[in-house]
Structure 1
């Protein structure tokens, strides 16, 4: 029951953060808004009491895993193939150097034992592509660095986990088993790729069989394919928990499966357009909600850690020094590595180094230390140091990127032109509607719908329409047929207007044409579905 209540509160918080971002704080990244909402929840005792204690396994398995799956699905497998050498270099070579440099540096500068220093260093290596978007909002990230940061963040989590396991065994046993560590890495990462590849191909095969089954999943636009949607939504959870059960990397498994399913989506869209559209909407909804929840939880936990007097390192402020060392070590190694080994320019090297933002996975890994034989005081040091690392990795690039990156140019004229063209397009449709020999009732009802395309209807007008439709008798099949015919003719008139503006008069560019044409098509799909459902 507690988990259900926590989920509801987090979802409501995510919804509120999205609304607040769009309505009041459009210039602030949604991730920062979500963190502020999370901090607010933690400060209010009643709301804080509704949120269950943080569980890293649930957090990674139920929130991070689907986000990584969706991120992988937005990445072409061909792109990964072209950059496989770079991926290995960044996620193995660079991550290892970051861990070594941060671990040794932390040990020498603070006196913390080497095993504990390497635990801290290992946790500091995973980066978060979603978090990167929060510090580049409104700015143009160079294409090469954008791809490198995205590919790195998809695959470096496994390296961090393996290094963390090695450091914990070192802490507990007092020595490092290098052959075992190397084998664990190969088995975990390689096994995750194999498991994710085999299982995802099997799931693709099953989905394609279901999609083409004439018995239960007829291939037409009006079959919503609910069983296929369920299979799709269950895929990241099956892959993550299945991979973890056999001892391989669940994170690598879901990422690789997402890459495999990217190609499936490209070649299955028209097999059932309704299904493809619905899945796209589901992915958008879940991505927004889960991403917001990640940062709400981060805000909650940062406040809880700050307010919890039991979380301290023997009354010392060593955690501040260690957090700064971890951040600077990762920053400098990232810069030097890509500068020397990838032959990147000075400016782009700094952009890549600063773009390595730490977020959800780093935080979750810090909490997994509590489940090991690490001492409570040492765990507190890990928790506080990694929290500071996350904050620094967000704040520093947020400031410096304002000087390093060009701003996105907002074309106010283009937005104004779109509004004008849309209004003229709607007016043309309304003129065509009122020239038809149809009933006054149909003219007024459809006019209301057409004006809604531009948001030019009031709440009062809506309730008047609502009152009319509630009192109205159900339409006869003949009336529904006539209504659908009118809508088709009106939408075609709007299309013709757009095509003339684009192809004949060249008043609008292709991007603007595609946006408005898509609006008409979506409106027609929604309206015509009413006729089919009747």
Structure 2
């Protein structure tokens, strides 16, 4: 329980750092997370805190690499395969060998095997960290793509090399040919296992979707468990679990692209879930860096009375400079086949790639994954290696944060809000025209037009106060009608309460701000629950009596009772729905038509669900999908014809995906 509490504090620290970053985005979030880790060292509960090394590889690295894989464009990766392999394998191996030998030469007490392990740890780069520190500057797109592809596979190269080095430390023997053979087996074996398992898992997901078993409650857990299962199987057959989860992630990314137009709700939920998981895990690792570095430094200081720290710090600086120089020379002399139109451009891109060799999550996680003991003996220099890796991470974050803004222009917005609003209105008009042409002026088509019209972001914006007043007035209409029917004994108290609960849920669901939803929840739930008035006591007693009555019924009696309940609810709806719609139609003579359309859509949906018009809802779902697909097609045509920029098209795509999730979920809610 204590370990769980400590891990939860790490998550909280990462969240607080993210919150600060939203207000202080001039500072890279990684530095804020490290700072939160430093603050945690002040808490007594984190004295002598250790997290098992296996947890990093299994629970953190595998998940992060899977997510990187599924977010990588297969087409871009294929086009840049030569560059990617050159940097992620060729440069990675050269860097490990050179850095390892230099570290051994400068620190002879560090064995060559452990020095190579250090080289394997500090070689992998972190594209997420690069994105964090370059968010406000304009990095050439081909350079950024190269960095992202490199970080996807050089992590695996570093991890394979680290495992070989640790095996050498454990056995005391190393054969070049055996090492190369083992590397090839582990590397390509990981690719093969990932390909096989990824194909099987993706096929299973596609089959479930074909059978309409694609609820997020089913698919999200399956996807979250995938990297753990793949990593476990790959490691069980002694191949690279990291490469296996990368390949599996790539296959999942291909599947997501194929399902973009047929399962957008699921895709958006998956993307949101993975974004939260990845950001949290990345944040936890940087918090751990801030948390662990002081303790490691204190331990080293005590061991040598402070004489080791300057030496290790200097070694970290030298190794960072060597790796940066290797990156520059490798790309400058075109070993990476980097595209450049002139020598000046190649020099500039080589310098940017060299400085952008940021080390982050994977490097720190690999350092912490070093075992405490091997063959019953304590692994020497573990703290030293962690200290050197931590200093290199900090330097690699700090240098580009200072230097890159001097070399690259500030990022300028590609479009204004006015341009986005105008483009979205044109897109919505195109979809509405398609609906009118194909489906005429049917009731379904009219409802879809109302939904699409609610997508507009043109001025004036939705008046939230007006929207709230409309919902409140409609709720009062329903309340008055239900009260009168209850007084006339047309319905029972239990049925009246059941109907008003549905009305309350409608009111809560469509409030956009969290404080409004919270206030309504308190109003409709907690206040009523704990109220001591006579009416409240009577209400709670009626509910308890109703539950007891239902429990005592047989299955046939329960079915009959359910039908009677549904009939009474319909009788209430026959009185409330027309009155509400008439009120909304009267308001159409005024302004605020968008707000009225939103309220009308809410009550239309609830009315149809109560009547059980599933065919009606299915038809509307089909029309909505067609409308949103028309919007996607419109965006692509506008980009192809250069009517809008690619960046503006991407922003429109994101908004359409979000709107689609909201509307389809709303229509299908019970």
TM-score range, shorter chain: 0.7 to 0.9
TM-score, normalized by length of structure 2?
A: 0.66
Whole-Å separation in 2 of the counterparts to 1:392 and 1:366: 16
TM-aligned CA deviation for residue 61 of structure 1: 1.1
Matches within 5 A, 1:206-355: 206-213=204-211, 218=212, 224-309=215-300, 312=303, 315-316=307-308, 317-340=310-333, 341=335, 342=337, 345-355=346-356
Q: Which piece of structure 1 moves more, 372-381 or 29-38?
A: 372-381
TM-aligned CA deviation for residue 154 of structure 1: 0.8
Whole-Å separation in 2 of the counterparts to 1:365 and 1:11: 20
TM-aligned CA deviation for residue 513 of structure 1: 6.0
Q: Indicate the residue corresponding to 1:31 in structure 2.
A: 30
* Alignment check: 8 A CA contact 2:37 2:288 kept: yes
Deviations 1:202-242 (A, max 9, x none): 111222222223xxxx36xxx62533322111101001122
Whole-Å separation in 2 of the counterparts to 1:206 and 1:263: 14
Whole-Å separation in 2 of the counterparts to 1:169 and 1:176: 9
From the superposition, tell whether residues 171 and 12 of structure 1 become closer, same or farther in structure 2 (CA, over 3 Å): closer
Structure 1 unaligned blocks of 5 or more: none
Deviations 1:362-415 (A, max 9, x none): 223323153447865533322221221111111111111121222112589638
Q: Indicate the residue corresponding to 2:187 in structure 1.
A: 189
Matches within 5 A, 1:165-184: 165-171=163-169, 176-184=174-182
Q: Indicate the residue corresponding to 1:41 in structure 2.
A: 40
Is 1:77 the counterpart of 2:133? The answer is no
From the superposition, tell whether residues 521 and 66 of structure 1 become closer, same or farther in structure 2 (CA, over 3 Å): same
TM-aligned CA deviation for residue 346 of structure 1: 1.1
TM-score, normalized by length of structure 1?
A: 0.81
TM-aligned CA deviation for residue 424 of structure 1: 0.8
Q: Secondary structure at the match of 1:426?
A: coil
Q: Indicate the residue corresponding to 1:490 in structure 2.
A: 597
Q: Indicate the residue corresponding to 1:19 in structure 2.
A: 19
Query: Out of 49, 53, 67, which is 2:50 matched to?
Result: 53
Q: Secondary structure at the match of 2:381?
A: helix
TM-aligned CA deviation for residue 248 of structure 1: 0.6
Q: Secondary structure at the match of 1:139?
A: coil
Matches within 5 A, 1:133-144: 133-144=131-142
Greater relative contact order, per chain length (Cα 8 Å cut-off, separation 6+): 1
Query: Out of 84, 87, 91, which is 1:87 matched to?
Result: 84
Query: Out of 136, 151, 158, which is 1:153 matched to?
Result: 151
What is the alpha-carbon root mean square deviation over aligned residues?
4.3
Is 1:6 the counterpart of 2:2? The answer is no
Q: Indicate the residue corresponding to 1:389 in structure 2.
A: 392
TM-aligned CA deviation for residue 110 of structure 1: 4.4
Matches within 5 A, 1:379-528: 379-410=382-413, 414=417, 424-427=460-463, 441=477, 453=512, 459=515, 463=519, 466-467=522-523, 476=569, 479=573, 482=577, 490-491=597-598, 521=660, 523-525=662-664, 527-528=666-667
Q: Secondary structure at the match of 2:372?
A: helix
Q: Secondary structure at the match of 2:462?
A: helix
* Alignment check: 8 A CA contact 1:335 1:352 kept: yes
* Alignment check: 8 A CA contact 1:69 1:257 kept: yes
Q: Which piece of structure 1 moves more, 480-489 or 295-304?
A: 480-489
* Alignment check: 8 A CA contact 1:491 1:520 kept: no
Q: Which piece of structure 1 moves more, 520-529 or 325-334?
A: 520-529
May I ask how many residue pairs the two structures share in their alignment? 511
Deviations 1:463-511 (A, max 9, x none): 3685268769999556499499879971499999xx9xx99xx999767
Q: Which piece of structure 1 moves more, 353-362 or 472-481?
A: 472-481
Q: Which piece of structure 1 moves more, 264-273 or 482-491?
A: 482-491
Structure whose CA Rg is larger: 2
Structure 2 unaligned blocks of 5 or more: 341-345, 423-455, 480-502, 529-535, 544-567, 585-593, 602-623
From the superposition, tell whether residues 301 and 465 of structure 1 become closer, same or farther in structure 2 (CA, over 3 Å): closer
Q: Secondary structure at the match of 1:228?
A: helix
From the superposition, tell whether residues 2 and 183 of structure 1 become closer, same or farther in structure 2 (CA, over 3 Å): farther
* Alignment check: 8 A CA contact 1:312 1:377 kept: no
TM-aligned CA deviation for residue 330 of structure 1: 0.7
Whole-Å separation in 2 of the counterparts to 1:405 and 1:128: 20
Q: Indicate the residue corresponding to 1:370 in structure 2.
A: 372
Q: Secondary structure at the match of 2:259?
A: helix
Q: Secondary structure at the match of 2:146?
A: helix
Whole-Å separation in 2 of the counterparts to 1:194 and 1:15: 37
From the superposition, tell whether residues 512 and 385 of structure 1 become closer, same or farther in structure 2 (CA, over 3 Å): closer
From the superposition, tell whether residues 145 and 15 of structure 1 become closer, same or farther in structure 2 (CA, over 3 Å): same
